[in-house]
Chain A
Amino acid sequence: MRGSDDHGTSQRSGRSNRRRMAAAAAAVLGITALGVLAAARLSRRVRLSRVPPGDGAIRVESRVTVNRTLEEAYAFWRDLSRLASFMTHLESVSESASPDGDRRSHWTAGAPGGGTVEWDAVLVQDVVGELISWRSVEVAEVTNSGAVRFRTAPGGRGTEVLVELVYEPPAGPVGATVATLLGEEPQQQLVDDLRRFKQIIETGEVVRSEGSPEGTRAGRLLRQRPAQPVA
């Protein structure tokens, strides 16, 4: 790296000048630190909330507004097979009707180092244009549930989509399964998933760049490809 731009020449030297500069620097540093802190706290969407200690469950929630009607947003999520197109931990979700009328679904997630983790779930609530919720059934490696709510945004600004996912790891050591499902940053993963959902429902695809050729993904933020064409 070459050097930065020139600073010009000093007009005078002397202890008093240096002291003034030092005091000014200290004041500036204080203000700057506050400024940086304020900036860092501005991100509202990353908020991991844990159910009180002892329970061990992990709840992540996030939200996004999309330029679609309530019905369109609801229909997109109600086709559970589409969840795999924007939720990075899911490989596939398929639905079927069970003999006793439950709407059951079979979920497959990728495991680290290859292989998959699978479980069955049922729909608990399904209110058109309002709410979809589901929970895993029988013996799932990680008991989990989810809910999506839909609201019209004020002022005709589209539809608000609010998502909550809860994971209840089994007693004992939390193994690879949980890490698979949640990733390193479960809250951030959901935030990214909802950005991808918005891109797909509004533009048709996950948006790619040379720096992030897979599209929005937390793991890529700090490991960007150079902004040059993908070979």
Chain B
Amino acid sequence: MGRTKVKVRTVPDPKILNARDAIVRITSTAICGSDLHLYDGYVPTMKKGDILGHEFMGEVVEVGPAVDTLRVGDRVVVPFPIACGACMACQRGLFSICENSNPNAELADRIMGHSPAGIFGYSHMLGGFAGGQAEYARVPFADVGPIKIEDGLPDEQVLFLSDILPTGFMGADMAVSPGDVVAVWGAGPVGMFAMASAVMFGAQRVIAIDRFDYRLRRAAENTGAETINYEEVDVADALDEMTAGRGPDACIDAVGMEAHHANPAIDRYDRVKQAARLETERPHAVREAILTCRNGGTVAIIGAYAGYMDKFPIGPLMNRSLTIRTGQCHVQRYMRPLLDRIRAGDIDPSFVISHLLPLEEAPRGYEMFKNKEDGCTKVVLTP
């Protein structure tokens, strides 16, 4: 409804608009770290009345005439990028840059050069699609995106297939080789899934970087990561010591555009510019990841960014042969293999959940999540 203002309102039920739509009755839906960027007003092209939410699952209650892969009654998890399955990008597994799914592509084109895929509940620049923090959602290209859950796994164990689990996994997929020392900035849910995934990809050591002890503890308990609290120690020094002068082989930025910096002056520089809209990002994590990464190493950027940052360390990047890999997660590519891992007991993603609230209490959920109150790591809402 405005900056730091969300309300639960009654709106019309969604209808089928395209022949390949399905309507899903939502059983569980989560608040994402990237929803906070919308909440805090840092993503342009939001409009009062927009429904937020892109991490949701539930039961199919209606299908359009051209959907033959889903039936009413099917239980599905819905991926956050909307993808047609037919364009060159989708056929190459690059679902989050689908060439067709953003009807407002021209808006994104102006700001970004080309348009990425449409996303549920994530600004008009990315399609103006109603999101999933609601009782029902219309799901376009229902024959491409949603994955069926057929063996009774509870919502809490599979909900995060929609976004944060594949996002963390893709971060590790892009950067980690067996034997690596991996540093992950951000010990939130995405960061923790990146740490757990780094282990799956053969990392020898995983280091979590954050400033909240409760998050670092959770990361250590659930993924075995070593921890650095950047308000207590200097990160560059700590990483140098831990790697005998090399730097981490793989660095994963799971923080994104609202990073916090321990040095108040630096924090204020970017924060003031961001508030004055002179800069759209606060890029501390990605700067630090680039500067500390081992020469020739890889930096995976999976934290969400919207626009343009200042003071990007392009000199260090270029001179030290770093590789940057990045992207909005191509969720559809990872859902099946990750569901198999969950079914096999390799990972139980529900460990990131700290709060379960009814949908009516979404505003409180947003505030708690934003301010990290009450040990909040992840809020799941039930309509």
Contact = CB atoms under 8 A, between A and B. Distances in A.
A46 to B, nearest CB: 8
Contacts of A224: 45, 47, 104, 124, 128
B100 interface: yes
B84 interface: yes
Contacts of B106: 43, 188, 191-192, 195, 216, 218, 221
Interface on chain B toward A: helix, strand, loop, or mixed SS? loop
Interface magnitude class on chain A: 35 or more
A198 B100 CA distance: 7
B72 to A, nearest CB: 19
Contacts of B138: 210, 229
Given A221-B104, A227-B131, A230-B15, A42 B86 contact: no
B47 A227 contact: yes
A215 B105 CA distance: 10
Interface string B302-318: 00000010100000000
Contacts of B74: none
B71 interface: no
Interface on chain A toward B: helix, strand, loop, or mixed SS? loop
Contact of B50 (A195, A203, A227): A227
B256 interface: no
A45 B85 CA distance: 25
Nearest to B122: A227
A231 interface: yes
A105 B68 CA distance: 38
Contact of B107 (A11, A28, A215, A221): A221
Q: Which 7 A-B pairs have the closest CB atoms?
A: A211-B128, A226-B49, A229-B14, A227-B50, A1-B2, A212-B103, A231-B12
Interface of B: 2-5, 11-15, 17-20, 40-41, 45, 47-51, 66, 84-88, 91, 99-107, 109-113, 118, 121, 124, 127-131, 136, 138, 140-141, 264-265, 267-268, 271-273, 275, 278-279, 308, 310
